[in-house]
Amino acid sequence: MLIRPETAQDLTAIRAITTSAFFGRIHGTGKEYLLVEALRDAGALSVSLVAEAHGKVIGHIGFSPVTINSKECGWFGLAPLSVSPEMQRQGIGRALVHEGLGALRKIGAHGCVVLGDRQYYAHFGFHPCAELRLEGVPPEYFMAQSFGAAVPHGRVDYHPAFDLCA
């Protein structure tokens, strides 16, 4: 398996993977592919990686800047993470998260937040963080990871494209 930055040739595959990965999921809206496209169109998909096996894209992860107390401060949000349903539970998502967090560190990010399963994301160093809050979300599902910088305090807001999945 190869993990690499997305290219223009990957866009159709990313749409298909994101659609199928979230289809029928309790935590999905079915519009996650629109989120990826809106972030890309807005220039807000700061890190966008694909997992490829045998020349076929089988997974995708995206990261975009978040604001804290309405200010950009070098923090990013992980979302979405998508793996083809037939390829799930094989470590592809885990590899995408590790590579994505590494890519954020390389661009000088201060930290990353994620909304998701606490058990899953704890493997990558994410933990609930009392200093940060996402309106309308129980704190146990909203987690953060600092890359060495002090953790800011306040309200986190994702890019407006996330409203497509509200």
Q: How many domains does the structure of the chain reveal?
A: 1
Separation between Cα atoms, residue 4 and residue 119, nearest integer Å = 26
Contact 83, 59 (CB under 8 A): yes
Q: Which of the four pLDDT bands, split at 50, 70 and 90, describes residue 58?
A: very high
**Residue 79 burial class via C-beta count within 10 angstroms: exposed 0-12, middle 13-18, buried 19 and up:** buried
Of 121, 163, 111, 161, the residue nearest 142 (C-alpha): 121
Beta carbons of 109 and 121 less than 8 angstroms apart: no
Exposure of 149 in the CB half-sphere (CA atoms within 13 A): 15
Beta bridge partners of 71: 68
Question: Given this model, what pLDDT does residue 28 score?
Answer: 62
Q: How far is CA 119 from CA 116, 142, 147, in A?
A: 9, 12, 20
Range of the domain at 128: 2-165
pLDDT score recorded for residue 26: 60
CATH number at residue 45: 3.40.630.30
Average of per-residue pLDDT across 5-34? 87
pTM: 0.94
